[in-house]
């Protein structure tokens, strides 16, 4: 029996082995964009448990969640989200990546928050023109870090589109929808659909029965 050597096959196997080893090793150091493997759900659940004390909360990598935040069951927070301040997040909430939630914010059950959303429950002071803005933020005996705080309240079942900014003191009613790129400066009624800069109500969501009656 004569054995043959297939060089191309051997090279392919060696290359595959090298790639597998490098992928496993570098995935520890490189961001996910460089390695096409989704992060283990076990890690996300572990982070969620450490931050919330609940077993069915998922938190992605690169997130910042302060100890003052309260996160309820069934919530998912994707990668690189910042939750900083007295934040209360209800059940079954989904927060997409690169979102910033700061200050005093209450988020109801079943809320969907898209990527690159900013929700401000506080703002830096800046109105004293005789004092540099940086000095109005946490200097000269200021004990509250120089923030003006007004809580934001987001009702149950709200959907906030991508790249939305919600300013302090705003309440968003149950079931409202905020369109992409909007800047919310005033209260939004329940089941309103709004968008724009500043955001304005353009219509209201209806039940199927009400829509059928109008038709």
**Active-site amino acid positions:** 124
The β-bridge relationship of strands 82-89 and 70-71 is: parallel
Rg (CA), the chain: 24
Strands, DSSP E only, in the chain? 58-59, 64-65, 70-71, 76-77, 82-89, 94-95, 100-107, 112-113, 118-120, 122-124, 147-149, 152-154, 159-160, 165-166, 171-172, 177-178, 183-184, 192-195, 200-204
Q: Where are the alpha helices (DSSP H) in the chain?
A: 7-26, 41-52, 208-214
Please count the residues of the chain.
Answer: 215
Query: Residue with structure tokens 């000269």?
Result: 140
């Amino acid at each position: 029996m004569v054995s043959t050597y297939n060089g191309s096959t051997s090279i392919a196997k060696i290359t595959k082995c090298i790639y597998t080893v490098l992928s496993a090793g570098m995935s520890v150091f490189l961001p996910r964009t460089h390695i096409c493997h989704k992060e283990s759900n076990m890690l996300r659940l572990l982070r969620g448990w450490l931050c919330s004390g609940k077993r069915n909360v998922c938190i992605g990598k690169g997130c910042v969640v302060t100890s003052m935040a309260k996160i309820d069951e069934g919530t998912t927070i994707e990668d690189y989200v910042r939750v900083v301040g007295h934040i209360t997040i209800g059940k079954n909430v989904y927060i997409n990546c690169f979102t910033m939630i700061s200050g005093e914010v209450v988020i109801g059950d079943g809320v969907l928050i898209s990527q690159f959303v900013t929700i401000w429950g506080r703002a830096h002071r800046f109105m004293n023109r005789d004092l540099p803005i940086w000095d109005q933020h946490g200097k000269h005996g200021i004990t509250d870090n120089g923030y003006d705080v007004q809580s934001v309240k987001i009702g149950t079942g709200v959907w906030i589109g991508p790249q939305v900014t919600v300013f302090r003191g705003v309440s968003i009613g149950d079931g409202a929808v905020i369109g992409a790129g909007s800047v919310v400066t005033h209260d939004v009624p329940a089941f309103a659909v709004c968008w724009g800069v500043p955001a304005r109500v353009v219509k209201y969501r209806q039940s199927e029965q009400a829509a059928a009656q109008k038709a």
